[in-house]
């Protein structure tokens, strides 16, 4: 990565933009021109705001770039299903998304099998989508506790290194 002091979000942005560059078949000169035109920077390491990143991503999408990943980051967790069709008393899509994010942030084993084991232990079911809203709250509280103990602030997770220093 271009900047070792870059936040986790910035590193992820750089990865996605490099994938987009490759998918669109751009050479270095065309890539830098796109970044300059979309975000006013000469390299992906110069992108520091969400708006700059989003403007670059929009430009790549206009060129045909499509995000193909069905996992979140390095964790290999499946994406959260939409809320449609879920009974009212069952876990909300928002709760599921939050649980997966906390798990990805603070767990040592970032995989679905380990997450399912924790859900079984706390919620008594084998699948995250079978949790009731009340049991989902219990899982969230447990994961927040794990995050705090691991040195992460679950209320401000984007920059993991800064959270560890403040801890």
| pLDDT tens, residue by residue, 26-70 | 999 999 999 999 999 999 889 888 788 888 988 998 888 886 644
**What does the CA dihedral 121, 75, 6, 56 come to, rounded to 10 degrees?**
-130
112 assigned to some structural domain: yes
Give 130's DSSP letter. G
Same domain as 97, residue 55:
no
Task: Please tell me whether residues 106 and 161 are part of one structural domain.
Answer: yes
Dist CA 16 CA 11 (whole Å)? 9
State both tokens at 17. 């933009």
Q: Are residues 104 and 161 in the same domain?
A: yes
| Contact yes or no for 54/17 (Cβ under 8 A) | no
Mean pLDDT score of the chain, rounded to an integer? 80
Q: Domain for residue 140, yes or no?
A: yes
Residue 80 forms part of a structural domain: no
- Note down the domain range covering 15: 8-62
Query: What pLDDT score does 13 carry?
Result: 83
78: pLDDT strictly greater than 80:
no
CA 26, CA 98: separation in Å to the nearest integer? 36
User: pTM of the full predicted structure?
Assistant: 0.47
Q: What's 91's DSSP letter?
A: P
């Amino acid at each position: 990565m271009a900047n070792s002091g870059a936040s986790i979000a910035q590193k992820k942005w750089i990865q996605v933009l490099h994938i987009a560059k490759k998918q669109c078949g751009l050479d270095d000169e065309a890539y830098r021109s796109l970044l300059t035109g979309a975000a006013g920077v000469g390299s992906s390491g110069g992108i520091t705001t969400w708006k700059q990143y989003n403007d670059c991503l929009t430009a790549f999408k206009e060129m045909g770039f499509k995000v193909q990943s069905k996992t979140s980051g390095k964790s290999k967790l499946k994406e959260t299903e939409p809320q449609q069709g879920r009974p009212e008393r069952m876990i909300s899509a928002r709760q599921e998304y939050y649980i997966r994010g906390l798990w990805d942030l603070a767990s040592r084993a970032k995989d679905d099998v380990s997450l399912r084991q924790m859900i079984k232990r706390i919620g008594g079911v084998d699948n995250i989508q079978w949790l009731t809203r009340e049991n989902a709250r219990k899982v969230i509280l447990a994961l927040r506790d794990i995050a705090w103990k691991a040195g992460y602030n679950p209320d401000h997770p984007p920059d993991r290194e800064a959270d560890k220093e403040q801890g």
